[in-house]
Structure 1
Amino acid sequence: MEGDEKALMREQAFIGGRWTGAPDDDRREVSDPATEQVIGHVPELQSPHVEEAIDAASRAFETWRCTSGVERADKLLAWYEGMHEHAEALARLMTLEQGKPLAEARGEVDYAASFLRWFAEEARRATGETLPPEDPAFAIGTTRQPVGVAAIITPWNFPLAMITRKAGAALAAGCTTLVNPASQTPFSALALAVLAERAGLTNGEFNVLTCAGKRFSDTACADDRVRALSFTGSTQVGRQLLRQSADTVKCTAMELGGNAPFIVCDDVDLETAVDGAIAAKFQTSGQDCVAANRIYVHRSRYEDFIQRFAERMNAMDVGNGFDEDNEIGPLINRDAVEKARALVDDARDKGARVIGRDQGEAPGARFFMPTLVADFTTDMRVSVEEAFAPVAAIRAFDDDDEVIAAANDTIYGLASYVYTQDDARIRKFLRNLEFGMVGVNTMDITGPHIPFGGVKQSGLGREGAHAGMEEYLETQYYCIGPKR
């Protein structure tokens, strides 16, 4: 580990602008998923620590909410500059604890930083309205007010970007934040805290708590001072958090599971569609909520597509993310490998063709060789479960109505992809696909300027874009009557 990485890698939590440790017997190991070697330890905070952080964030809110949009923007921009200054160290730290290939980690650093710049700009634009009164002696309108302390629970697959996308919006709105990063990837979050501290967020505006997710959520959800909760993770956990938040009627934002369809019509350039499908499936080793899970290809192009996809898939290098040649890294833990194996075995037992290299070639216990499950049917687990692994399922379709119905046959509604050159077809898919996001002839659907989010059981609310601050702002109406 190089000097810059060591400076960013903190083995303490960040509460109220102070670095907080824990006794040796209250610490948690963090391991490199590629080698399974321990890379460090973080405090296993208890409920009193969470309460301490809520106290700090509540005190900080009384000051932070009164700062101008310009002041908030300046600190977010300083944080953004810090991320760029230390981009390589952040990327290497991410690969170390998360496993993704270094090229992808570098891309995530840029992506994560872009949210800080975006919301720095949006901080100046949280404006209300002047409304026309029925009586000209009155003045009426609205202002936007920050909701208060925001609890933020983030996943391990994008350990930087999921924090900046949420915390950037909350801080820009005038809220203070409590971040509970995934237990597998705390060091990326703590590196962000180092840079936030250097940017001037030193009074409890931004807190990072390394503790069990349930302990954090139980304490935060029960405390009425925590007025907003933002979560990215599984639909199952999201449902539980919504139930917990109901008692104190919190503002909630949920980015939950996905089961993205990738539709290839008969009029496409097949190489372009294969390029898109490979990228949409295998980024982050398939551990991505917008990853293509179910690929539907028009029957007239089906076997040709399978051949080209399989050739590309089987040529992908699998291994440690620090090797610049590798395109697929490890899965986050051995349980993920076992789930991937079970999905493939279930499909094979039910008649699917399984295409790919032998799993015996996997370079370690947490690796899974990329696999294509052809001719999947709706009774197979790969049809209904989010794989979160380099496992793609594919089947043929005959007409647009059929594939739209098949694509929509899921409880999820996050991302979807369509490849066609026909404008009328595009409009039909956009009207009828039940997904919050539709990529047409592209898989590149994310960025700070887009409203990221899903429908159905894929979540509530939107992150990024102008909508990103809405979860952290309340509309206050005022009516000023004439003086008597």
Structure 2
Amino acid sequence: MITTPTQLFIGGAWVDAVDGGTMAVDDPATGEVLAQVADAGPKDGRLAEDAAVDAQEQWGRTAPRTRSEILRRAHEIILDRTDELARLMTSEMGKPLTEARGEVAYAAEFFRWFSEEAVRVEGGYGTLPDGRNRMLLGRRPVGPCLLITPWNFPLAMGTRKIGPAIAAGCTMVLKPAPQTPLSSLALAAILKEAGLPDGVLNVVTTSRAGEVCEPLLRGGRIRKLSFTGSTAVGRLLLAQCADTVVRTSMELGGNAPFIVFDDADLDVALDGAMVAKMRNMGEACTAANRFFVHRSVAEEFARRLADRMGALVVGPGTRDGVDVGPLIDAAGRAKVEELVSDALERGARLLVGGRTPEGPGCFYPPTVLTDVDPGSRLMETEIFGPMAAILTFDEEDEVVRRANDTPWGLVGYLFTENLDRALRISECLEVGMVGLNTGLVSNPAAPFGGVKQSGLGREGGRVGIEEFLEYQYLAIPVR
């Protein structure tokens, strides 16, 4: 059984906060306090930064195979402790145990993937076109990194950032979301057990993110920021990075269109909708936000989706047979309630759900709305909840225009049996990823990221390690 640390992890040691106290971690299914963890202040952030900076030179010179083997051992430990990690994750953020086990496997795979990439970092050698110089092209770690992770996938978002940083030879300060610090602390303990040297990974849990992170970004010693979270916070962090030109990768908000054409296989489209909408209770940046369904099949699609959504079992994620756990907190549930109310006031028709249950916990039922007014607030914000809003369309050009009418561009979902149409529409969608006849695009071996205000850079895939590496070009005269 995992005994989860509750202190800060700095320089390879578990320590109390120097200029902070503790903060509560709540169970969103009951409202009860799970644990009290260290609540770091600015001094603690600087101590973590000191540890990362001090460890950088030696860690950057560590053999790639050594870094690879540490990641591989951590991958195996995570899989060995699937049930314990899944239960911990469910307790602090609510997702059903079945989904939590899936996230543990997904998280572990990032460590396996980047264990393989660690030994495949390549440079280059050749004669330049003018014949006067040879070019020796090398790669080196970017340096100490600040990693900021969200609460919705607390284990996988940690491994997706930590994995490539370790593989590239970078040291880190990890700041997890205050709602879900326990998964990150458990991950730090696993990496220490796997042989990660002291100071390479430092974990700072805090309820005062701005006070802790801003001095690090403006101080000049952190050379890389990797952030997953809202676009609003991302903009603020980018401004803070500007003073010292910190390299950034940003995985920000989404407003994913889910497009169903008249020739789509509705069984496939419905399967895709359930995954794209209901994974993690809809609390995902990749969640289908706006359902555009061709008018000729919209009624059938809506009815069948409502039947499937209405059959889902809502309850505490730790309970057997539960499909939908609680939302992360009362504010998250209130947001969904307000979006549903706004849509209904504008004439939307409620097919299922839409009524907040009584009792403890932040539960909200799976909800389907049809006849949604395009001016509804849900069209221009991330819903982050188990609510599907269905709109109709008639022509290709119309649906592409409406799908792209958003400042975000993370992912889009497209369902059609026509290959030419699939390629044509995919090329027109202003998104970084497209799910063609599938509701799941995330994979450690694929580059994850968006365009427009959905972010900068990519995580995962062959390019994931590139975010943590710099090029160095050496000119050598030909004699």
Superposition TM-score, scaled by structure 2 size: 0.97
- Which one of the candidate residues 258, 271, 284 is aligned to 1:275? 271
Residue aligning to 2:298: 302
Paired residues for 1:460-475 under 5 Å = 460-475=456-471
Corresponding residue SS for 1:295: strand
User: What is the alpha-carbon distance in structure 2 between the residues aligned to residue 344 and residue 379 of structure 1?
Assistant: 13
User: What is the alpha-carbon distance in structure 2 between the residues aligned to residue 19 and residue 351 of structure 1?
Assistant: 55
What amino acid is aligned across from residue 376 of structure 2 in structure 1? M
User: What is the alpha-carbon distance in structure 1 between the residues aligned to residue 414 and residue 205 of structure 2?
Assistant: 40
Residue aligning to 1:331: 327
1:34-69 CA-partner distances (Å, limit 9, x unpaired): 011101011111111111111110111110100111
- Which one of the candidate residues 224, 227, 233 is aligned to 1:228? 224
User: What is the alpha-carbon distance in structure 2 between the residues aligned to residue 45 and residue 137 of structure 1?
Assistant: 55
Change in CA separation of 1:454 and 1:119 when aligned onto 2, cut-off 3 Å:
same
Residue aligning to 2:153: 158
Residue aligning to 1:255: 251
Alpha carbons 1:179, 1:209 under 8 Å: kept: yes
Residue aligning to 2:317: 321
Alpha carbons 1:362, 1:368 under 8 Å: kept: no
Given the alignment of the two structures, is residue 208 of structure 1 paired with residue 241 of structure 2, yes or no? no
1:170-193 CA-partner distances (Å, limit 9, x unpaired): 111111111000000000000001
Alpha carbons 2:354, 2:366 under 8 Å: kept: no
- Which one of the candidate residues 406, 410, 425 is aligned to 1:429? 425
1:47-96 CA-partner distances (Å, limit 9, x unpaired): 11111111110111110100111111011111111111111111100001
What amino acid is aligned across from residue 62 of structure 1 in structure 2? E
Residue aligning to 1:217: 213
Following superposition, the deviation at residue 362 of structure 1 comes to: 5.4
User: What is the alpha-carbon distance in structure 1 between the residues aligned to residue 71 and residue 449 of structure 2?
Assistant: 23
Change in CA separation of 1:23 and 1:151 when aligned onto 2, cut-off 3 Å:
closer
User: What is the alpha-carbon distance in structure 2 between the residues aligned to residue 101 and residue 153 of structure 1?
Assistant: 24
Residue aligning to 2:403: 407
Residue aligning to 2:344: 348
Change in CA separation of 1:454 and 1:362 when aligned onto 2, cut-off 3 Å:
farther
What amino acid is aligned across from residue 187 of structure 1 in structure 2? L
What amino acid is aligned across from residue 221 of structure 2 in structure 1? R
Change in CA separation of 1:139 and 1:24 when aligned onto 2, cut-off 3 Å:
closer
Residue aligning to 1:13: 8
Alpha carbons 1:147, 1:175 under 8 Å: kept: yes
Q: Which is worse superposed, 234-243 or 378-387?
A: 378-387
Residue aligning to 2:451: 455
1:264-314 CA-partner distances (Å, limit 9, x unpaired): 111122122111101110111110000000011111101011110000011
Given the alignment of the two structures, is residue 74 of structure 1 paired with residue 33 of structure 2, yes or no? no
Alignment RMSD (CA, Å): 1.4
User: What is the alpha-carbon distance in structure 2 between the residues aligned to residue 360 and residue 138 of structure 1?
Assistant: 70
Residue aligning to 2:438: 442
Residue aligning to 1:45: 40
User: What is the alpha-carbon distance in structure 2 between the residues aligned to residue 304 and residue 378 of structure 1?
Assistant: 20
User: What is the alpha-carbon distance in structure 1 between the residues aligned to residue 344 and residue 154 of structure 2?
Assistant: 34
User: What is the alpha-carbon distance in structure 1 between the residues aligned to residue 406 and residue 249 of structure 2?
Assistant: 21
Alpha carbons 2:45, 2:213 under 8 Å: kept: no
Corresponding residue SS for 2:347: coil
Corresponding residue SS for 1:447: coil
Residue aligning to 1:184: 179
Residue aligning to 1:378: 374
Identity of aligned residues (%): 47
Change in CA separation of 1:25 and 1:476 when aligned onto 2, cut-off 3 Å:
closer
Change in CA separation of 1:143 and 1:443 when aligned onto 2, cut-off 3 Å:
same
Alpha carbons 1:376, 1:383 under 8 Å: kept: no
Alpha carbons 1:352, 1:373 under 8 Å: kept: yes
Following superposition, the deviation at residue 365 of structure 1 comes to: 3.8
Q: Which is worse superposed, 375-384 or 21-30?
A: 21-30
What amino acid is aligned across from residue 384 of structure 1 in structure 2? E
User: What is the alpha-carbon distance in structure 1 between the residues aligned to residue 450 and residue 320 of structure 2?
Assistant: 33
Corresponding residue SS for 1:14: strand
Structure 2: gaps of 5 or more residues: none
Structure 1: gaps of 5 or more residues: none
User: What is the alpha-carbon distance in structure 2 between the residues aligned to residue 170 and residue 471 of structure 1?
Assistant: 9
1:119-168 CA-partner distances (Å, limit 9, x unpaired): 01001111111132346574212111111001000000000010110111
User: What is the alpha-carbon distance in structure 2 between the residues aligned to residue 18 and residue 221 of structure 1?
Assistant: 24
What amino acid is aligned across from residue 18 of structure 1 in structure 2? A
Paired residues for 1:97-176 under 5 Å = 97-134=92-129, 138-176=133-171
Change in CA separation of 1:423 and 1:360 when aligned onto 2, cut-off 3 Å:
closer
Corresponding residue SS for 1:88: helix
Residue aligning to 1:90: 85
What amino acid is aligned across from residue 100 of structure 1 in structure 2? K
